[in-house]
């Protein structure tokens, strides 16, 4: 199986373009609905139509979204160009490293707020969905090779279902959007 890995974002300006929580909300909406107008984006984000239009244009400037065709003015639909975003500080010049660090902060804050919101709504979800929606943290000891194996296995699981985001025809009846967030990090003092 070919491993699907998103193209790594290295341009400091593109990294900064993603460093805004409203832009992550827009990316989420476009991932869920495939296309959306600035008016729909405003409904989803709670921002004004003008604000959403501005943020969509900033995302478009750096190639993350584009006009989907049809509509007029603020009623023109937008779509995602890239469904996956990937970045890291390694190998970047200082300006890029700072931009990647800022993006990581914004992204983690955004994900954390979405997880908190979902946790508050958890009891209102149907039992069959709640049963498999859990929060779990684990601390263990792994070698570099074992950590690589775990990462590959998780990616393989996600890749099995990844094509359903971009192609709604592949979504089975009764399916719904499910956000999975995995993070691997090293606690302070865990090095040898």
pTM of the model: 0.84
Residue 34: C-alpha distances to residues 41, 49, 66, 111, 141 (Å): 12, 18, 11, 20, 40
Report the distance separating Cα 25 and Cα 31, nearest Å: 10
What's the pLDDT tens digit per position in 110-136?
A: 999 999 998 898 889 888 888 888 788
Query: How far, CA to CA in Å, does 142 sit from each of 136, 138, 139, 158?
Result: 18, 12, 10, 21
Tokens at 80, concatenated: 């995602």
Considering the domain 12-135 in this protein, what is its CATH number?
1.10.10.10
Of 18, 7, 14, 158, the closest CA to residue 86 belongs to 7
Radius of gyration, alpha carbons of the chain: 18
Cα angle 167, 121, 24 (rounded to 5 degrees) comes to 50
Query: pLDDT tens digit string along 132-186?
Result: 887 888 889 999 999 999 999 998 998 899 888 888 899 999 999 998 888 888 8
């Amino acid at each position: 199986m070919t491993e699907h890995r998103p193209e790594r974002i290295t341009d400091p300006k593109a990294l900064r373009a993603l460093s805004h929580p409203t832009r992550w909300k827009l990316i989420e909406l476009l991932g869920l609905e495939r296309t959306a107008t600035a008016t729909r984006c405003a409904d989803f984000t709670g921002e004004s139509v003008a604000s959403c239009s501005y943020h969509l244009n900033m995302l478009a400037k750096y190639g993350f979204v584009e006009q989907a065709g049809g509509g007029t003015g603020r009623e023109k639909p937008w779509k995602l160009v890239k469904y996956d975003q990937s970045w890291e500080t390694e190998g970047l010049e200082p300006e890029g490293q700072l931009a990647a660090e800022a993006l990581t902060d914004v992204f983690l804050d955004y994900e954390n707020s979405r997880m908190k919101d979902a946790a508050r709504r958890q009891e209102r979800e149907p039992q069959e969905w709640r049963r498999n929606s859990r929060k779990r943290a684990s601390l263990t000891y792994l070698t570099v090779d074992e950590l690589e194996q775990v990462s590959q296995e998780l990616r393989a699981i996600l890749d099995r279902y990844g094509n359903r985001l971009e192609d709604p025809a592949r979504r089975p009846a009764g399916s719904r959007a499910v956000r999975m967030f995995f993070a691997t990090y090293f606690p302070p003092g865990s090095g040898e």
